[in-house]
Amino acid sequence: MPDKKLIIANWKMNPPTYKEAEQLAEAVIKSSPKKVDVVLCPPFVWLTDMSHESTGKVKFGAQDVFWESGGAFTGEISAAMLKNSGVDYAIIGHSERRRHLGETDAMVNKKVLAALKAGLRVILCVGESKEVRRKGIDAAKRFVERQLREDLQGIKYQESSIKNLVVTYEPVWAISGGDSTHTADDPKNAVEMIAFIKSILNSIFHILYSRVLYGGSVNAKNAGSFLREPEIGGALVGGASLKPKEFLGILKAAEKYGSMSDK
């Protein structure tokens, strides 16, 4: 199992200028701890400029990917294009794409398979809505299990697939999306769900060692409460990743608790 914590910055549709994006990336790259795996996911319009200039201290990821290798698919970007541009990761199935763009589990599944085939590392996002969670933890687990079964259907039991798959548990109701009224999940609840996800990956897909992250209103103040848990392999960070001091605070927590898991 990886000892380092994995921290992913999902900038979403931010910032509005390349200069701001460059300054943000430089601030992170300059101060990133060696004992933390850091991935920056800028919007596509800034991504390849940054990935081509990567020094290797951080990795770069895409916020989406298409399932076809090429052709008449206006506006889409293939996994091979990303891989050939120095991009290492791709976020797939983020709840905002599922909710706002109608992305289905069948579409997510095709993207996962295409990305793994091209050698990208997949960050698969799963998680329940507020309506499901109100029905209780068992209902939430059934929902997430169904997502995993459908999103990973047809995945081959190969070392490369296992190594390149990261799952993020992002309870939809905990994602701020810029709304300060949203609050993060309780770390104990997150650990319970992440342990459940690992059990599904093990029993159904024969993945014995998996990296499962938490995503949902993570900030410098609460990061330690999640990252101190050995079960949680890191965090997918949204709004806080746009604030250098805030994001670096998360990285410091990841370094501290990642180092503890080494011992």
Q: What's the rounded Cα separation, in Å, for the pair 27 and 122?
A: 25
- Torsion-angle region of 12 (φ positive above 0: left; ψ -120 to 50: alpha; else: beta): left
Is-catalytic flag, 94?
Answer: yes
Q: Residue 236 carries which side chain, given as an amino acid letter?
A: L
- How do beta strands 121-126 and 165-169 pair? parallel
Q: Which of 96, 170, 229, 255 is catalytic?
A: 170
Positions of E strands within the chain: 5-10, 36-41, 59-62, 89-92, 121-126, 165-169, 211-215, 234-237
Long-range CB pairs of 84-87 (<8 Å, 24+ gap) are 85/47, 85/48, 85/51, 85/52, 86/48, 86/51, 86/52, 86/54, 86/60, 87/47, 87/48, 87/51, 87/60, 87/61, 87/62, 87/120
Q: Are 155 and 205 in contact (CB under 8 A)?
A: yes
Is-catalytic flag, 131?
Answer: no
Q: Which of 94, 96, 103, 255 is catalytic?
A: 94
Nearest to 257 by CA among 237, 229, 236: 229
Written as six digits, the tokens of 73 are 């698919």
Catalytic residues: 94, 170
